[in-house]
Structure 1
């Protein structure tokens, strides 16, 4: 399915890549969005994902979803496409952690993906539908994690180590934080 908006061919100004190591959110409340990842019970991750989806759908259906608030700040559409892809990536990472012993996750360059997939040209309604499907799949994946699996380990290519529990908490921060970014 073509999710690109055919009328827009101008490449928007580049967004400075986010080089921060956000793993600190596992230890401290985020001062920007207020989310405290360590307070999240892992068994609540799936339900929280499902609870947040309507806010994303509503934001993506706003008239100004394509508009960047500043030239170098993503639009709601771009953030929504990113969150859709975050859902997909984390679904796969949880699968790897549950099925393999201490997997090394394939690298994912979120900024390159945004450029290559032209998040700015995608159709907000299609992105909303795809985000719903990705959220359902990811929530379903978290629902299948057993008590014994929450402490299984996995690693990012930069060396950051996670358990299924901390990966889920870290993932939820991303989803919540970007809702804060788009004022939804």
Structure 2
């Protein structure tokens, strides 16, 4: 394992994840155990707020900066990623709602480029905790807003994957739950 000091040097990029994870909307994830059938739109907020608490505990661990192996993010880096996932998914939800029921197209988001640009590995755990908690709170509040009639409103990802307000919430929850599994949170 590679431990990083208080002034970490660049550990290099993580192995890019090029998988299309939209399959988790139709069947359980064999890794983290997420089952899309267990997530109801009214339960997304509760799941996000529970995850906020669990990620905060991950950031408090003494090994938060430690990469488990070459090419794999440390828990700190995963937490920085999840902060950004919260913001991206919140913005996508807001975009759908602002579309008034018309299909909207999401902007591309390159998670690996974002990790490098923001130097996730240099994050200060205390500051990241504040940012992560704020991102979870904002996302939870956003996903608490849609009405039953808005759940079917559409959004389209740049690769052609179609989402609704409801499926975007499930997809988002899987990402959050899966990364908790990644960091053993």
Matched, 1:174 2:175: yes
Moved more, 147-156 or 36-45: 36-45
- For 2:136, the equivalent position in structure 1 comes to 135
RMSD: 1.2
- For 2:7, the equivalent position in structure 1 comes to 7
Measure the CA separation in 2 of the matches of 1:115 and 1:23.
24
The CA deviation at 1:38 is 2.9
Deviations 1:5-59 (A, max 9, x none): 9722x22132121100000000110000000123211111011101111110000
- For 1:183, the equivalent position in structure 2 comes to 184
Matches within 5 A, 1:3-152: 7-8=7-8, 10-100=9-99, 101-152=102-153
Deviations 1:119-150 (A, max 9, x none): 00011111111111011001100111111101
Measure the CA separation in 2 of the matches of 1:15 and 1:48.
27
TM-score, reference length from structure 2: 0.94
Q: Which runs of 5+ in 1 are unaligned?
A: none
TM-score, reference length from structure 1: 0.94
Deviations 1:101-131 (A, max 9, x none): 2110010000100011000001111111111
Q: Which runs of 5+ in 2 are unaligned?
A: none
Measure the CA separation in 2 of the matches of 1:120 and 1:37.
31
**Paired residue secondary structure (2:113):** helix
Deviations 1:62-118 (A, max 9, x none): 111001011211000000000000000000000001111211001000010001100
**Paired residue secondary structure (1:162):** strand
Q: Tell me the matched-pair count.
A: 179
